[in-house]
Amino acid sequence: MRYFVNLSYLGTPFHGWQCQPNAISVQEVLEEALTTILRSHVKVTGAGRTDTGVHARLMVAHFDAKIPLKTFDNLVYLLNQYLKSDVVILSIVPVIDTAHARFDATLRSYEYHIVSKKDPFTNGLAYFFREPLDIPLMNESAQLLMTFKDFESFSKSNTDVKTFLCDIKNASWRLNGDGCVFTITANRFLRNMVRAIVGTLLNVGIHKITIEELKNIIKSKERSKAGFSVPAHGLYLTDIQYPKNININNG
């Protein structure tokens, strides 16, 4: 039987989502928890890879297991008792056997949080950027992103992806207390893409580059021409969407 597990995590203690040698990952601790509780080796497949220090309000992963009904009814509770407080299981949902957490995802959303005043309660959870920002101009620039498909300029260098094409459905900035939040939704994202986009749009917001220069950066397909990559600790994976027919209860 295949299941989707919906979880949240604080990225600070982890070296990203994916298992790797000599470094703790979210995938590793989740597999360990499931294997221990179900008393059978469990492998999980995530909807994507978050980098070191990136947080997730919602990550989705799938796993295969034979779970007795009595155990399934208490599995979320048992996992949360086993896991440390930086990982929380939100729900576990039975899905059709062919459902895939990564390949069946239709949309993914991220937020990037910026604060303009130092605050101990946002330390490690938002990026402190003290220069004044032109939010209307940054929103105009964000709208421009949706007129392009190729985002190689914002991709991590030397990546092994086969295509740099992404379909951005929404991109916008909003004020949030003493700072602002960037929200972006697309069918897929390249490695480091959101952080590179935010860094480049910050350069627009401080009038370091113009919107016309932003257009030329995207057209150039050269990462070296785009802005800096903002720190990971301000980035949150916030939502992942799937077709309803993969959920057995909605089938």
Same domain, yes or no: 93 and 145: no
**Strand-pair category, 179-186 with 235-241:** unpaired
Q: Give CA–CA dist 112/179, Å, rounded.
A: 11
Report the alpha-carbon distance of residue 139 to residue 215 in Å, rounded: 14
**Which one of 103, 123, 155 terminates a domain?**
103
Do the Cβ atoms of 182 and 198 come closer than 8 Å? yes
Q: What DSSP string runs through 20-61? A: BTTB--HHHHHHHHHHHHHTS---EEESS-PPTT-EEEEEEE
Residues 114 and 98 in one domain: no
Task: Answer yes or no: is 250 within a domain.
Answer: no
CATH number of the domain to which 169 belongs = 3.30.70.660
Same domain for 127 and 28: no
pLDDT digits (tens, 9 = 90+) for 191-225: 999 999 999 999 999 999 999 999 999 999 999 99
In a domain, residue 243? The reply is no
Domain identity same for 42 and 142 = no
Distance CA 188, CA 108 (A): 7
Q: Is residue 249 part of a domain?
A: no
Indicate whether 246 belongs to any domain. no
pLDDT in tens, 90-130: 999 999 999 999 999 999 999 999 999 999 999 999 999 99
Among 69, 88, 103, where does a domain finish?
Answer: 103
Say yes or no: 21 and 57 in one domain.
Answer: yes
Active site residue 51: yes
* Judgement on whether residues 127 and 231 belong to the same structural domain of the protein: yes
pTM of the full structure: 0.94
Handedness of CA 178, 193, 16, 232 (dihedral sign): negative
| Chain position carrying tokens 């991590």 | 156
The verdict on 17 and 30 lying in the same domain is yes
167 in a structural domain? yes
Distance CA 19, CA 32 (A): 11
From the list 16, 26, 8, 53, the residue with the least C-alpha distance to 235 is 53
Using pLDDT thresholds of 50, 70 and 90, give the confidence band for residue 251.
very low
83 and 136 inside one domain: no
Q: What does the alpha-carbon distance between residue 209 and residue 211 come to, in Å, rounded to a whole number? A: 7
Give the CATH number of the domain where residue 78 resides. Answer: 3.30.70.580
> Do 6 and 48 reside in the same domain of the chain?
yes
Same domain, 117 and 96: no
Q: Are residues 149 and 187 in the same domain?
A: yes
Q: Do 86 and 124 fall into the same domain?
A: no
| Count of structural domains, the chain | 2
Which domain range does residue 63 map to?
2-103
Which of 71, 88, 103 corresponds to the end of one domain?
103
Q: From the CA atom positions of the chain, what is the Rg in Å?
A: 19
DSSP per-residue codes, 166-233 = --EEEEEEEEETTEEEEEEEES---TTHHHHHHHHHHHHHTTSS-HHHHHHHHHHT-GGGS-PPPPGG
3-state secondary structure of 164: coil
The 10s digit of each residue's pLDDT in 43-69 is: 999 999 899 999 999 999 999 999 988
